[in-house]
Structure 1
Amino acid sequence: MKTDVAWMKDYLKKHSIKPSTIRIKMLKYLMENRIHPTVDEIYHALLKDIPTLSKTSVYNTLDIFLKNGIVSLVTIEEKETRYDIDTSLHGHFKCESCGEVYDFQVNAENLKEEGIEDFDVLDKKIYYSGICEKCKKK
C-alpha cells in the first residue's frame, strides 16, 4: 500500500474524510504496522510525532475510520479491541502465548451458512486462538 502524504490525503477524501495531520499519521501508521493495534499502541506510537495527541483524538479518528470503512474492529477477547486496516473478509488467529494476532485467508465460497437464509448479514468475523508457530518452536 502507498503511504505518501498526497496519496493518503486523496484516499481519505475518497472515503469522505477531511484530511488532517492526525488522520494522515494514523492512516500511515495503520498501513505500515499491520499488527492489529489497540488504541494504546497507536497512541504511544504517534505521541513522539504528535506531542499534543490525546487518546480522545485517537478514539475519535478511529471512529471516523470505522464509520467510513477504512478500518474494521477486531474483538477477539471481550476487553481488548484492536483495529485492522484490512477490511476484506479474512480470519484472525490470536496466540495465547505471545498475544500476537495474525491474519489468515478465508475462502468465502466454502463457508456454509445454514439456518440464516432470511437474515440480513451485516458483518462476518472469523476468530481462532491457540499457539502460533513461533511459540511452538520455543
Structure 2
Amino acid sequence: METNTTLNYLQAHGIKPSLQRMAVMTYLIEHRTHPTADEIYTALHPSIPTLSKTTVYNTLKLLTEKGAALQLTIDERNCCFDADTSPHAHFLCTRCGRVYDMKLNQAELRKCACVPDEFQTEDAQLYLRGCCPRCAALDMDN
C-alpha cells in the first residue's frame, strides 16, 4: 500500500500519523486475515525494532475508537482486528480458526438481527461459527 494512502486514511479519521501508526494501519489494510495484536507485533517488530507490544495495543485501541478499524471478539480466546469497517459479518471456522468476511449490507444485518424498524442502529456485529468449505472438503476426503 502506498504511504500516502495510509497517511490520508489516518488523517481522514482524525488520527495524527506516526511511523508506528502508519505501519499498523498498513498491515491491517494489506493483511485481511483479521490478525491479533500479537500477530501484528510479531510481523512488524523485525522492521521496526523500537516497536513495543504496548504501542501496538494502544495504536489498535486508537484506530478502533476513531472508526479506522474494527475490533472483533468472536471467541473468548482472541481479539482480532479488521481494517474493513463497512457493514459485514464474520464467520469463524471452528476447525482451522480462520475468520472470513461475509458480505452483508446494513439492511441485511438488521434483518439477520431481527431489529424492528423503529430502532435506529448505529453499529451491528454478526459473528457466525462453524466449518468453512475448505475444512468440510478435508472431512469428506477422510
By the TM > 0.5 criterion, same fold?
yes
Matched, 1:66 2:64: yes
What's the Cα RMSD here?
1.6
Which residue matches 2:33? 35
In the aligned structure 2, how far is the partner of 1:66 from the partner of 1:10? 17
Give the one of 13, 22, 25 matched to 1:24. 22
* Structure that is richer in strand per residue: 1
Mapping 1:1-138, distance limit 5 Å: 3-110=1-108, 111=111, 112-114=114-116, 117=118, 121-138=121-138
Structure 1's consecutive aligned runs of 4 or more residues displaced over 2 angstroms after TM superposition are: 107-110, 120-123
- Deviation for aligned residue 1:109: 2.6
- Deviation for aligned residue 1:93: 0.3
In the aligned structure 1, how far is the partner of 2:107 from the partner of 2:7? 35
Which letter does structure 2 place at the counterpart of 1:132?
C
- Deviation for aligned residue 1:78: 2.1
In the aligned structure 2, how far is the partner of 1:74 from the partner of 1:98? 17
Show structure 2 runs of 5+ residues with no match. none
- Deviation for aligned residue 1:53: 1.2
* Structure that is richer in helix per residue: 2
- Deviation for aligned residue 1:105: 1.2
Q: SS of 2:101's equivalent? A: strand
